[in-house]
Amino acid sequence: DGGITQSPKYLFRKEGQNVTLSCEQNLNHDAMYWYRQDPGQGLRLIYYSQIVNDFQKGDIAEGYSVSREKKESFPLTVTSAQKNPTAFYLCASTRTQNQPQHFGDGTRLSIL
Amino acid sequence: GQQVMQIPQYQHVQEGEDFTTYCNSSTTLSNIQWYKQRPGGHPVFLIQLVKSGEVKKQKRLTFQFGEAKKNSSLHITATQTTDVGTYFCAGPEGGSNYKLTFGKGTLLTVNP
């Protein structure tokens, strides 16, 4: 089955620690995205990548970093500079522009 | 920047009642997409509207795209408990057909 796999499902971060969320897709999609969702809120874009080795900041990129070394992988690092990281993180992909986005199951990040 | 507003934020209905959520964009959209997120789940694509005045139906769901391509609505006839979830609209941000701006969503709860 083709899809998007996010791991881990739950993640706990200690103060001052960087953590990396994994996102892998086997849909052969060109573009990939990271969103943050807070309770009762919509989806806010952190970073997106249209092609390999290229990515753009979204609306709330501060305190986050990404890489896109392979088409199928788009990991997100939540750095210690992100002071309020507790949220639900969703990875998505799309085949090309103006196409529907396919989402992974998400990672719930909490502070210890 | 572009804003996508959705109303209402919450809607509670009795099973069998109808439900409508409205989406308004601050800019003209090339297309609009609708997603549904079940509690604890991830957003799932429902439909994309492209043409001015377009109306599409999926069983009990009716989607409309306004003539000016700045607003849209989703209407559910005779709600069922399986309709529970948050419904999001999303439109491409001006200048980038890869980047979507999501509304904050309408949370629908259904009393059996």
Verify whether the Cβ–Cβ distance B42 to A103 is below 8 Å. yes
A82, A64 in Cβ contact below 8 A? yes
Query: Tell me: the pLDDT tens digits for B31-52?
Result: 999 999 999 999 999 999 999 9
- Return the DSSP state at B81: G
Distance from C-alpha of A110 to C-alpha of A12, rounded to nearest angstrom? 5
Q: How far is B38 from chain A (nearest CA, A)?
A: 11
Size of interface A-B (CB pairs under 8 A): 51
Verify whether the Cβ–Cβ distance B99 to A58 is below 8 Å. yes
**Is beta strand B43-49 parallel, antiparallel or unpaired with respect to A87-94?**
unpaired
Structure tokens belonging to residue A87: 């949220």
B31 in contact with A at a CB cutoff of 8 Å?
A: yes
Query: Tell me: the pLDDT tens digits for B54-90?
Result: 999 999 999 999 999 999 999 999 999 999 999 999 9
**Amino acid in the structure at residue A98:** N
**Residue pLDDT tens, chain A, 112 long:** 569 999 999 999 888 899 999 999 999 999 999 999 998 788 999 999 999 999 999 999 999 999 999 999 999 999 998 989 999 999 999 998 889 999 999 999 998 8
Among candidates A56, A59, A100 on the partner chain, residue whose Cβ is nearest the Cβ of B33? A100
A57, A43 in Cβ contact below 8 A? no
pLDDT above 70 for B11: yes
Verify whether the Cβ–Cβ distance B100 to A45 is below 8 Å. yes
3-state secondary structure at position A25: strand
Verify whether the Cβ–Cβ distance B43 to A42 is below 8 Å. no
Interface test with B, best of A98, A99, A102, A108 (most B CBs within 10 A): A98
Greater model confidence, A42 or B94: A42
Question: Measured between alpha carbons, how far is residue A22 from residues A7, A74, A108, B44 in Å?
Answer: 5, 7, 12, 20
